[in-house]
Structure formats: C-alpha cells, structure tokens
C-alpha cells in the first residue's frame, strides 16, 4: 500500500528565500509556482489557519470561458491563490518575457496527499464517485475522508451549491478538494467563503482525483514534459473534448494578442 509513504503535516514550512512575485497575465494575478512549491505553499498557509481561503487553477478552457462569460470572473478574482494549470499559458506568457510555470492541479493534489496530508486527519472531497473515494483512501491510507456528491447540473442549482458549501462548514478540515468541474467548483469555493464559517483551504482541482485513482489515465510523462497532455486527453475522450481543444482552445491566441496589445498601449501611455 502506498499509504505508508504519506507524510504528516508540515510543522511550520519554511518560506523560500527567493519568493517569486505575483504576475498579472490575461487579466488575472497568478502566483508563479511549480507543483511541489505550490503544494508546500498551500500546506503552509493551511497550517493552523482558522480563516477559509480558496485556490483556483485556471487553464486555457477557463480563460476562454472568462472572456465569454465575464460574470464568472469574480470567482477567480475572489480566490486567494491563482495558479497556472496550463503549458499553453506558460508558453504564451514566456513569449512576453513573463515567467509563469505550469502547475497542473493533478500534480499539486498528488504532492499534497504524498507529502502534506496526514492519513489520520479529516479530508473533505466534493464530487467524485464512491469507487474513487475508496481508491483514494486505499492509495494514501486515508482514514477520514468526508465525501459529498452534488447533483448533476450544479451550476444552475444554487441550492445545491449552498448545500455543498454547508457540508464544508459542517466538516472542518485543513483540505477541501473541490472536484466538480469548472465553473461549478469555483462557485462552491466562493459560496463557502461567503458563509464565513468554513475553515481550511478549498482547492478547485477538477479531474485531479480521477487521475490519482486511475479512473482517467494521465498522459505519459514525456507528453506532459512537452506540453502535449491536451493531445493525450483529446485522443482519449474525443467526443467530450474535441470542441474544447479544437474549436474553443485556439481562441486563446486571439485573447492573448488582444491582451498583449493592451499591455503595449498601456506601457506607452505610462
């Protein structure tokens, strides 16, 4: 069992000597962190924190949606930590001289369970299936997973969003993993913050637990290294993801060019 490798909570994680400055890109303020550093940061902030806060991990799909549905932008602006989940965004940022390393949610969640979550502490999961919860407990030796499974169509069911937030309030934990897809998980995260009675950190992490439990097979390491994880997912689930990657995805280039022009005009006027 791999649960024996899970580490107890960090007892006062050290702050790195050279802490990277937040960067503004495509209208959001990102914290430029790699997965292991991001997990360490999340764990250190969650240590003994009574105030709830939440993390979002936008990728290309999220950024395109935010351009089309601007009312959703507040979900990301209200977040306490914004991490880049996309190699494509990393590349576009690099073309502007901005260092914005990709920090995939799946890697962050894996690092948290592997290095920072105590197998005996309570962990909240919003979303996933019963079999995934069983597999997650077995893999990391978790003894106290508190699971809430919201209904389908969560985005259009405000009562169900509130019920998920209420579940988080009734189940205090350092870590709340929100796995109901975007923008539903960000809606739950913000609703939990609005309650004012939730503790710990809410991590919007999409299909991360699907990957950890083997429900969805992740791209080989070489594909991830070259930024081709999207291609692996497309070929694995073409019916579900073809519109996202082949039609909506390329829109990010136009969004980036428009934002780049705005930046240049702003620097000239300044």
Work out the number of other CB atoms within 10 angstroms of the CB of residue 109. 27
pLDDT tens-digit series, residues 163-221: 999 999 999 999 999 999 999 999 999 999 999 999 999 999 999 999 899 876 666 77
Output the pTM of the full model. Answer: 0.85
What is the pLDDT at residue 1? 38
Residues 49/186/150/35 CA torsion (nearest 10 deg)? -70
117 has pLDDT over 60: yes
Residue keyed to tokens 């990957």: 211
Rounded average pLDDT over 96-111: 96
Strands 23-25 and 175-179 turn out to be unpaired
Burial 147-185 (b: 16+ CB within 10 A, else e): bbebeeebeeeeebbbbbbbbbeebbbbbbbbbbebbbb
User: Long-range contact list for 241-247, CB < 8 A, 24+ apart?
Assistant: 244/61
pLDDT tens-digit series, residues 163-174: 999 999 999 999
Domain ranges in the chain are 30-269
What is the pLDDT at residue 160? 99
Kindly report the length of the chain. Answer: 270
Distances (CA, A) of 153 to 67, 161, 178, 207, 226: 22, 10, 15, 17, 34
Going by C-alpha positions, the residue among 42, 62, 25 that lies closest to residue 249 is: 62
Q: What are the DSSP calls for 24-83, one per residue?
A: EETTEEE----HHHHHHHHHHHHTT--S-EEEE---HHHHHHHHH-GGGHHHHHT-SEE-
Going by C-alpha positions, the residue among 16, 39, 34, 42 that lies closest to residue 90 is: 34
pLDDT tens-digit series, residues 226-258: 667 766 666 776 766 566 667 777 899 999 999
What is the pLDDT at residue 234? 61
């Amino acid at each position: 069992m791999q649960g024996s490798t899970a580490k107890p909570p960090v007892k006062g994680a050290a702050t790195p000597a050279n802490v990277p400055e937040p960067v503004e890109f495509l209208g959001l303020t990102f914290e430029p962190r790699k997965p292991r550093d991001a997990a360490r940061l999340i764990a250190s902030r969650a240590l003994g924190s009574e105030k709830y806060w939440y993390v979002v991990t936008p990728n290309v799909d999220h950024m395109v949606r935010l351009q089309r549905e601007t009312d959703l932008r507040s979900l990301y602006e209200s977040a306490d930590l914004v991490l880049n989940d996309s190699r494509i965004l990393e590349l576009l940022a690099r073309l502007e001289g901005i260092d914005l390393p990709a920090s995939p949610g799946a890697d962050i969640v894996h690092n948290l369970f592997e290095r920072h979550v105590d197998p005996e502490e309570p962990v909240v999961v919003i979303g996933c299936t019963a079999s995934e919860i069983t597999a997650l407990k077995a893999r990391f030796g978790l003894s106290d997973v508190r699971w809430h499974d919201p209904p389908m169509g969560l985005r259009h069911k405000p009562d169900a969003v509130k019920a998920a937030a209420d579940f988080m309030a009734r189940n205090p934990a350092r870590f709340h993993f929100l796995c109901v897809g975007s923008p539903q998980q960000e809606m739950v995260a913000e609703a939990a913050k609005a309650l004012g009675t939730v503790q710990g950190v809410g991590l919007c992490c999409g299909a991360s637990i699907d990957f950890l439990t083997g429900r969805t097979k992740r791209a080989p390491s070489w594909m991830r290294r070259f930024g081709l994880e999207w291609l692996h997912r497309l070929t694995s689930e073409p019916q579900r993801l073809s519109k996202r990657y082949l039609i909506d995805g390329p829109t990010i280039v136009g969004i980036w060019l428009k934002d780049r022009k705005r930046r240049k005009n702003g620097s000239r006027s300044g």
